[in-house]
């Protein structure tokens, strides 16, 4: 997201959509008051401690409104920020600062909230070697921003969408007539560059999945004990993922079951925002 190509191809349309959502015609308040162009500066203030994510998107909101906007800051995505800290400043025409403020903060606050929540969960897994991964439970239209925020917080991404990863769930398996057949059908159909992941619910299914040479086995809603057994059964022949309502509260129980990945929808669907604001606007 600090990458111009991604901004141009994948983010700009969504940022423009957000700006138009907030200004279908104009910012009437600002346009009523400010009649002449005048340069101003405003500070980005942290009102809650956490992990910052989305500085590039925050900046882009202003540069899309005015290519001469300047965002200066001494921090970068992933840094820890503290209550009261001045994170940086934006310099631009005052109209741009006033009209773009809300949209810029809406992105930055949400992305930072996700990074903050992710970092907290990642810390709970410290020294386990387990990687925390996200899900497709993202806000519609925001996936690119939310999945990026997860990585900023120290998490990892699962598949991005239904087109770029295979995950055989119970309904697929029963429709195919068993795990072996499902895996075979997936290998026949999908590009060979994709790994095959199978969701299993009990140890019999684990065995089937191993035999079917699944690349990844997702242990769904199992108890920690059952997971341990599953991991033993798999014996390194597939990567293992644990899934199912994992939250900050429940994650510690999973530290020593021996799995490779824990996925959590809460990272993107239930983290509160990180409170940030723009203050001390003044002419320069």
- Which residues, numbered 46-85, are part of the site for a copy of itself (CB under 8 A)? 64-66
Minimum CB–partner distance for residue 70 and a copy of itself (Å): 16
Hunting for tokens 């002449």 — which residue is that? 36
Q: Which stretch binds a copy of itself (CB under 8 A): 70-78, 89-97, 119-127, 219-227?
A: 89-97
Count other C-beta atoms under 10 Å from residue 174's C-beta.
Answer: 11
Q: Say whether residue 284 binds a copy of itself (CB under 8 A).
A: no
Catalytic residue among 59, 77, 134, 199: 199
Q: Which stretch binds a copy of itself (CB under 8 A): 80-88, 156-164, 206-214, 221-229?
A: 156-164
Minimum CB–partner distance for residue 125 and a copy of itself (Å): 15
Contacts of 143-148 with C-beta under 8 Å, sequence gap 24+, read 144/6, 144/10, 144/11, 144/14, 145/1, 145/11, 145/14, 145/54, 145/57, 145/107, 145/110, 145/111, 146/110, 146/111, 146/114, 146/268, 147/268, 148/1, 148/53, 148/54, 148/111
Q: Which of residues 255-274 bind a copy of itself (CB under 8 A)?
A: 260-261, 266, 269-270, 272-273
Q: Which stretch binds a copy of itself (CB under 8 A): 81-89, 122-130, 167-175, 205-213?
A: 167-175
For this structure, is 102 an active site residue? yes
Q: What character string, x for contact with a copy of itself (CB under 8 A) and - otherwise, covers 103-132?
A: x-xxx-xx--x-----------------x-
Count other C-beta atoms under 10 Å from residue 142's C-beta.
Answer: 17
CB 206 within 8 A of CB 182: no
Catalytic residue among 136, 169, 195, 213: 169
Distance CA 99, CA 30 (A): 7
CB 206 within 8 A of CB 226: no
Distance CA 104, CA 111 (A): 11
Catalytic residue among 43, 47, 66, 102: 102
For this structure, is 169 an active site residue? yes
Q: Using CB under 8 A, which of 74, 127, 129, 163 touches a copy of itself?
A: 163
Distance CA 142, CA 132 (A): 20
Structure tokens belonging to residue 13:
């349309």
For this structure, is 137 an active site residue? yes
Q: What character string, x for contact with a copy of itself (CB under 8 A) and - otherwise, covers 230-249?
A: ---------x-----x----
Q: Which is nearer to a copy of itself, 194 or 228 (CB)?
A: 194
39-46 and 276-283: which strand pairing? Answer: antiparallel
For this structure, is 280 an active site residue? no
Phi and psi at residue 55, to the nearest 5°: -60, -35
Q: Which stretch binds a copy of itself (CB under 8 A): 75-83, 98-106, 122-130, 222-230?
A: 98-106
Query: Catalytic amino acids?
Result: 102, 137, 169, 199, 220
């Amino acid at each position: 997201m600090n990458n111009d190509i991604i901004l141009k191809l994948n983010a700009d349309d969504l940022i423009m959509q957000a700006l138009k959502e907030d200004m279908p015609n104009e910012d009437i308040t600002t346009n009523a008051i400010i009649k002449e162009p005048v340069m101003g500066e405003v500070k980005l203030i942290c009102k809650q401690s956490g992990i910052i994510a989305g500085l590039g998107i925050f900046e882009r909101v202003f540069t899309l409104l005015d290519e001469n906007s300047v965002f200066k800051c001494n921090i970068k995505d992933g840094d820890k920020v503290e209550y009261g800290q001045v994170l940086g400043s934006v310099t631009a025409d005052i109209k741009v600062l006033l009209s773009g403020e809300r949209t810029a903060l809406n992105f930055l606050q949400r992305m930072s909230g996700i990074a903050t929540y992710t970092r907290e969960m990642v810390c709970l897994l410290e020294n386990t070697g387990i990687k925390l991964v996200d899900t497709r439970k993202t806000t519609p239209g925001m996936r690119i921003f939310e999945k990026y925020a997860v990585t900023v917080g120290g998490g990892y991404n699962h598949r991005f969408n239904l087109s770029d990863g295979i995950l055989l769930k119970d309904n697929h398996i029963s429709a195919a007539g068993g795990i072996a057949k499902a895996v075979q059908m997936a290998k026949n159909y999908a590009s060979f560059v994709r790994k095959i992941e199978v969701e299993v619910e009990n140890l019999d299914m684990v065995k089937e999945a191993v035999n079917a040479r699944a690349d990844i086995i997702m242990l769904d809603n199992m108890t920690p004990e059952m997971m341990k057994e599953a991991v033993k059964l798999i014996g390194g022949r597939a990567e293992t993922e644990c899934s199912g309502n994992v939250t900050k509260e429940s994650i510690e129980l999973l530290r020593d079951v021996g799995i490779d990945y824990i996925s959590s929808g809460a990272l993107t669907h239930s983290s509160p925002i990180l409170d940030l604001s723009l203050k001390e606007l003044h002419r320069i």
